Structure 1
């Protein structure tokens, strides 16, 4: 549908106050998350006293809670606005991380972690919805690419800042990590209050079907097919975080010390290339190309991982570096499609809902992905070749699945002009 938004240069993808605010918010958010990821697991086991089984069970329950919360939060955002819901989620996360710093016992841990994960899983679609409210099309994809680049810088800085605190290895230092993350969410919420998001001015309502109480996105079979396809490709996250270190340790001659270096290579490539990858001047068929290229590159990654089990140390390291390169390229193309698809195909008035439904594929992957990838590693090279076959099938299916969705894309409607929140109609 036609979009009349802020003037060029005023959105988060470029200059202007919204761009600066989103850059700072993304940096603060990822900085706090980097602190938490660096020391959270050690704190829960050594500080809280959880066993590995209790930790795993708590995280599994939290993952289920996050899955169930995503779509209802999206429905709420379509009714109340994405920005106020995103601000509420930031404050929710601040409260959850504060509670997590003083939690005792497995039941309390599972409860607080579930509340935290509900907000964590619901926040990314809301961020994308706010950005889409400020701009559309290629500019929105470019904005998300810049936000992701800044977030990767923040993750790295957070991990570095956590290093001296973890070296002290005292309970209070781990609590500082969690409370520092909580503070970052409060500051982010305050900054988001200063962003003026366009809204529809008064005017004739856009005709359409009567809104049902049930999420329409969950009944859209074509959209769910694309959501599932994207969820398969998001497996690249678990391939890197779980599959790569396990494979290096158990099945290759590469030194264990190469694992953090391979992670650093992935981070550096994402920071350096994400924005460049998003600059695709050919908008027609962009989503189909992005999904197809992502699938083929991930298929190639599976082949390279399988081959890395054979040669000696130097040969294995070369193949692993190439595998990280193809995996990162697949990750970049998948991200571009993931930002554009739900925004491009969401019906009028249901953007946040469709973004939340689309994010369910990511959530399911986070729950089932570790099981699938550990099974792949256990099978040895045959497991990676089996995964290659899955990605190859995804590449072949991407074009027909996307074309089916494009044929069912809602017809453009003439929309009334947009106003900033707070302006009179």
Structure 2
């Protein structure tokens, strides 16, 4: 499945570097129309996360994931066949739906096959995905030097073929079956058996709500950093792409080593405390970058980029563990699908949040970091240790993915 992550993200890297240019120069859409396509894809992605997780609890996981990859491939190829806005809206929605569903299913596969090593597995998977993203971006940058419409179409075909290849590799992987047992964790439901519907699990829904706030850091590097650096600081514009590279290099080099600090439920919960401080310090550093002078502004902006990248990696580690530890094993797909709403929702809310911080100036960034830090503390309080398990599993019946009790 790591090969799937590499191929998938390489294709994503090709399209991410090409999409705006393709819709502008090949299909002739306006800026508002391009923005609408992105918004529609984001909204459809919100639905894709829970639907994909639900299907994975009912059907073989690899088949559902392969179907999502095929849907993404078909959506990409469909873009080549029309320049009309309405069909492009439909295709963008299908692509967004498939992308978010595939993301949840890939995480679920790792959870099932890695068992107690799930956090480390997800860290390796994320590292490989970042390498693929970088390769795709570099390939697109080299190809776009030609600047012809044919090149844009070739890159879109390359994106579609990456999904076809990912589907083929997925079907060659061993099926990851759902655990047969349920482990009681903290007695949050009667008789030690938790609700099988995440929509009725108030604790899990509250956890997802706090995690949605923590995922806002994703918008920093997608929207906030470049806009703030260019419009509100004296830092040279050439620093922005260097900070993007720094973010990618840090994730590739440090995500796996940092994963060991959140390898259990109790460790992941403890990690929320330094994570809150990291978010707060990063927001303050971003605010400080508004100081006059290119050198001090660059230093503060670099410190903010390093801080938010560290927060991003720590939060990923915490989220991988807690989103699974709080879910009953027989309904992991449904629960992880609902958790996928956190990341999908922030794609719509995140850009608005960071642009609001930019509009408010330095105080806005301080408030941004403070709000996320407060969400970390709220999550730390929410995910409290429960009483010890009444009995340990038999050595002959190991429980995959067993974690410390939480309640």
Q: TM-score, normalised by structure 1?
A: 0.86
Kindly state the Cα deviation for residue 206 of structure 1 after the two structures are TM-superposed: 10
Q: Indicate the residue corresponding to 1:227 in structure 2.
A: 208
Indicate which of 5, 9, 25 corresponds to 1:30.
Answer: 9
1:159 paired to 2:137: yes
Does 1:292 pair with 2:270?
no
Separation of aligned partners in 2, 1:350 and 1:282: 21
Distance between the aligned counterparts of 1:377 and 1:71, measured in 2? 32
The answer as to whether partners of 2:56 and 2:64 remain within 8 angstroms in 1 is yes
Deviations 1:136-188 (A, max 9, x none): 12x11111111111111111111111123212111121111111011111111
Mapped to 2, the partners of 1:282 and 1:352 lie a distance apart of 21
Structure 1 SS opposite 2:92: helix
Cα distance between partner residues in 2 of 1:246 and 1:273: 26
The residue aligned with 1:176 is: 154
- Unaligned 5+ segments in structure 1 are 1-21, 419-425
Deviation at 1:292, TM superposition (A): 2.9
Q: Where does residue 402 of structure 2 map in the other structure?
A: none
- Whether 1:237 aligns to 2:215 is no
Alpha-carbon shift at residue 412 of structure 1 (Å): 8.1
Give 1:184-333 correspondences, 5 Å limit: 184-199=162-177, 216-280=197-261, 283=264, 285-333=266-314
CA contact (8 A) 2:124 2:255 kept: yes
Normalising by structure 2, we get a TM-score of 0.89
Partner of 2:42: 63
How far apart are residue 312 of structure 1 and its match? Answer: 0.6
User: Corresponding residue for 2:371?
Assistant: 390
Give how far 1:94 is off. Answer: 1.0
**Which of 22, 46, 49 is the equivalent residue of 2:28?**
49
Task: Tell which deviates more after alignment, 154-163 or 339-348.
Answer: 339-348
What does residue 107 of structure 1 align with?
86
Contact 1:65–1:115 (CA under 8 A) maintained in structure 2:
yes
Contact 1:294 1:334 in 2 (8 A): yes
- 1-structure distance, mates of 2:245, 2:388: 40
SS in 1 for 2:177: strand
Identify if the C-alpha distance between structure 1 residues 90 and 411 changes in structure 2 by more than 3 Å, giving closer, same or farther: farther
For residue 417 of structure 1, report the CA deviation from its aligned partner.
6.4
Distance in structure 2 (CA, Å) of the matches to 1:46 and 1:301: 37
| CA RMSD in angstroms, aligned pairs only | 2.6
8 Å CA contact 2:49, 2:344 repeated in 1: no
User: 1:77·1:85 contact (CA, 8 Å) conserved in 2?
Assistant: yes
Map residues 309-388 of structure 1 onto 2, 5 A cutoff: 309-388=290-369
Cα distance in structure 2, aligned partners of 1:248 and 1:215: 46
Partners of 1:293 and 1:395 within 8 A in 2: no
> Which deviates further from its counterpart, 95-104 or 124-133?
95-104
Alpha-carbon contact 1:343-1:355 (below 8 Å) kept? yes
Q: Is the 8 A contact 1:75 1:215 kept in 2?
A: no
Return the offset for 1:200: 6.8
Contact 1:304 1:320 in 2 (8 A): yes
Structure 2: runs of 5 or more not aligned? 399-407
> CA–CA distance in 1 between the matches of 2:181 and 2:286?
57
Task: Report how many residues are paired.
Answer: 389
User: C-alpha displacement at 1:279, in angstroms?
Assistant: 1.8
